Amino acid sequence: MDLATTPDAIEATVPDLPGLAPALAGYALYGASAALEQGLLAPGGMVWALVPALGAGMFTAPAFLVAHGWLGLHAAPTAMVGALARAFVVGGKLALGLTPVLFFLSATTAHGLAFFTVFGAGIGVLTLLMAMTELDRAESAAAASAGTGSGGMLALVLCWSVLTAGIATRLGASLVLSTLH
């Protein structure tokens, strides 16, 4: 069975709660590492990294799904949500992997917030690239199964990516700038 041409196989890979747990832990601990340098290590500090990631997704995913249906593209909404969830998990695991480095830098230098910002931008870009790849893969598989092309998906994914990156950047900048005042 070829995964690239089977929409059911793609839909079946939606992460469950045990699959989401490391991602959520990664985002929470990543946020806590930035709060360490600022002297804000409290439960509220742990949500820092979750706000841009979840906020951008919550604002843009419904618009993406509506536009996807309106354009008459082929992938099922569950395949699209699964693709977004898989990208979120990859970003969270990347954040979890970078957290020890950021804790070390926050504890030993006065530049923890700068490292938090740079690493966060990198995580965001890689997560967005993963989402773009996963969304295109899901649509291509559904279009191949329907015997048609996946025209319009690239433009939709690019527009959605720009919107998501803008919202995540705005939310992240607001959080970082609020700590400097």
Tokens, residue 177: 């700038």
Region 109-117: mean pLDDT is: 80
Identity (one letter) of the amino acid at 124?
Answer: G
pTM of the model: 0.78
Region 117-145: mean pLDDT is: 86
Q: What percent of the chain has pLDDT over 90?
A: 6
CA 127 to mean position of chain CA atoms: 5
pLDDT at 48 over 80: no
Identity (one letter) of the amino acid at 20?
Answer: L
Give 93's pLDDT tier (boundaries 50, 70, 90). Answer: very high
Kind and range of the H or E run holding 13: none
97: closest CA among 86, 108, 89?
89
What does the domain layout of the chain look like in residue ranges? 3-9+28-180
Which residue do the tokens 């249906």 mark?
69
150: closest CA among 162, 138, 159?
138
- pLDDT tens digits, residue range 16-36? 777 788 888 888 888 777 666
